[in-house]
Amino acid sequence: MIVRECFKVLLLEFAFLPLIFLNVFLLIPILTVVILTLLFFRDPNRKIGEWVVSPADGKIDYIKDRRLEIFMSIFDCHVNRSPVKGTVKRIVYKRGSKFPAFLRVEDPERNEIYIENEYGTFKVVQVAGFLARRIVCFVKEGESIEKGEKIGMIIMGSRVVLEVPKGFSFVKRVGERVKAGETIAIKSG
């Protein structure tokens, strides 16, 4: 499946197709861009794991206490999913700096989604990177959501942060790759 945000981008890319009548060699770069766009906006079905699941595809590059960060390269699926079942209590969009997403920076442009359930508040932060030009949020405050449900996406390379309440421990480590919907934290104790 492809997320609907893809179609606006594809329309723009298809607008360049008439250029191939001027130079047939432009067909290869145009088709390459179209294929990369379809790859980027893919939305595969996922089998959702137990406990707290990853909100994003990518590589874990930071874990400290109850905070985990996932770097999403341009080759990762960029659809973000809810790590738990709960209620969206608050959504806060903050303007900030845009650096390459592989760098952890102070005050980046971000969208914070607070999901509450019987275990506490889980915070998912969608961080815009240098190439990311848009953070898309699919949920609204007060909405009940299921674990693994799509909550948004970040257009182009980016980073997603997950903060869990006390009593949870991460089962994945820095350097491991994860997929949205895969178990990354469990209730401990």
Active-site residues, by number, are 158
Q: How many CA atoms lie within 13 A of 70 on its CB side?
A: 32
| 1 Cβ contact list (under 8 Å, min separation 6) | 42, 43, 44, 45
> How many whole angstroms from its chain centre is CA 73?
10
Distance CA 31, CA 54 (A): 32
| 170 Cβ contact list (under 8 Å, min separation 6) | 63, 68, 164, 184, 185
Lookup: tokens for 106: 């102070």
CA dist 14 → 20, 34, 37, 121 (Å) = 11, 8, 12, 43
Q: For the chain, how far is it from start to end, CA to CA, in angstroms?
A: 39
